[in-house]
Structure 1
């Protein structure tokens, strides 16, 4: 688990959810990626003295999520490695269910699960479930959308050490899973809801757009089968420097169209579609949505 600017209150909730697991044979490695977060550091120092399952690494400077996770991966010696975010809450049987599945299915290299969405006050606000389960289905879906929840990852430590995260600001998890699939590793999803995933309202529009640019670049090279061989860090750096307001317009247009469909305003949706057919990238997004819909029908 990597900690950056999360409050002590949120970090305690995350840690308590692991301490309360039905599966207790684990090492909890926490990387603090903000040496100025003294309150959290002091609390973690206390835990490491009280419980020998805890280990803490404090980065001397902010390295970012990818490099922090890789520091942790280098230290892990257990057969399996699980991800956890510092503001999420694991269900009490999460580790037990995922470990059991990986032991019962030794060909599986990485495993994700469904999640329940919670707000900043830990109120349930939704869910993300019915994800594709098999590696074949996941491989197809990943050509259009990300169907794994990053903080639910558990997999073979040897695979994490072999592939590792690339030093990207955005979509590190999508890049990681797509490269696993390119290398023919087996990726599965459990249909159990084993994590409460915290949704925050503090993400800026600019960050959302840059996340989108990164996702689209990774998706492009994954579709070509070249993601593992391309220097995606340099490619993304150039793309993020040149991203344009076109992305704002595309996202707004697509979201407005989907909103009309959800409200069953079909005539307005058709009219809106005709008026906006020439918005850059809009038709492509509609095609991707159609493919996702058809894949869901295929794998139901």
Structure 2
């Protein structure tokens, strides 16, 4: 096997993250078949003592774990951008604080990048499981090729964001992470598409992702709908989508995110956006 490129992992943690889930998440990053050259952990404001102790333990035992502390909670997009800026290497992998990487995640992604130098963003399939019971619930597999993903992006976010590895320089050229309520990642992918950077999704499962009933609650309400509608307006203004597609997308989102009850919204997501 040829020597694979150096890479960083960027993740953040904040006060409401479950300490046990955080421990398992960072442990899954450390125990990879290809170990990261560095792990940047952005502490987004004050965190509980038990979470602090877990982080301190990992940083002491692994000299490639770098901790960046923010004085107050600044939000997901801001923390993502700090992690990006502090990363030292050409490739950066994203990681959430309560998910679990399969042990060959980074090996699969780095090998693909080595064989496909034109790709800027690489995601993969995720398996969702219950936070409460650890029972597997569903799988989320997205389109594979650049052409398929650019088409899919007109309707929905083209990546499982926690599975993504990207070229740092390309993300910075697109402006990096910019705050956008619940849609910082989607906004970044749109800006990268406008610069003609190439996308790809591996069809293999890369992570196990925790979910619970709050997932469906968070994806509802007028504030969430307003954020999604603004994304659609942006794509229309940039000629990514036509007027009929814009009207269709906004209408569907208004129905699902505003009009449907949480129970019906859950049924919609499980039926139309997930597989078993």
- Band the TM-score falls in, shorter-chain normalisation: 0.7 to 0.9
Residue 24 of structure 2 aligns to a residue in which SS? Answer: helix
Distance 1:246 1:16, change over 3 A: closer
Aligned residue pairs total 243
CA distance in 2, matches of 1:80, 1:161: 12
Distance 1:26 1:206, change over 3 A: closer
Higher RCO, Cα 8 Å, sep 6+: 2
Q: Does 1:3 align with 2:16?
A: no
Q: What do residues 231-250 of structure 1 show as CA deviations (whole Å, max 9, x unaligned)?
A: xxxxxxxxxxxxx999522x
- TM superposition shift of 1:136: 1.4
CA distance in 2, matches of 1:83, 1:122: 22
Return the match for 1:179 from 171, 174, 191: 191
CA distance in 2, matches of 1:19, 1:59: 23
- Residue 174 of structure 1 contacts residue 215 of structure 1 at CA under 8 Å; is this kept in 2? no
Report the counterpart of residue 70 of structure 1 in structure 2. Answer: 81
TM-score scaled by structure 2? 0.80
TM-score scaled by structure 1? 0.74
Return the match for 1:220 from 223, 229, 233: 233
CA distance in 2, matches of 1:245, 1:96: 41
Q: CA RMSD in A?
A: 2.6
- TM superposition shift of 1:200: 2.4
The answer to which structure has the higher strand fraction is 2
- TM superposition shift of 1:46: 2.3
Segments of 4+ moved more than 4 angstroms: 244-247
Distance 1:8 1:154, change over 3 A: same
- Residue 98 of structure 1 contacts residue 111 of structure 1 at CA under 8 Å; is this kept in 2? yes
- TM superposition shift of 1:217: 1.6
- Residue 81 of structure 1 contacts residue 157 of structure 1 at CA under 8 Å; is this kept in 2? yes
Unaligned runs of 5+ in 2: 1-10, 241-253
Return the match for 1:125 from 123, 132, 137: 137
Report the counterpart of residue 154 of structure 2 in structure 1. Answer: 143
Return the match for 1:200 from 212, 215, 220: 212
- Match runs of 1:1-300 below 5 Å: 1-4=11-14, 5-120=16-131, 121-129=133-141, 131-163=142-174, 164-203=176-215, 205=217, 208-209=220-221, 210-225=223-238, 248-249=258-259, 251-252=260-261, 255=264
- Residue 44 of structure 2 contacts residue 75 of structure 2 at CA under 8 Å; is this kept in 1? yes
Deviates more, 1:73-82 or 1:194-203: 194-203
Q: What do residues 175-203 of structure 1 show as CA deviations (whole Å, max 9, x unaligned)?
A: 11111111111111110111111112235
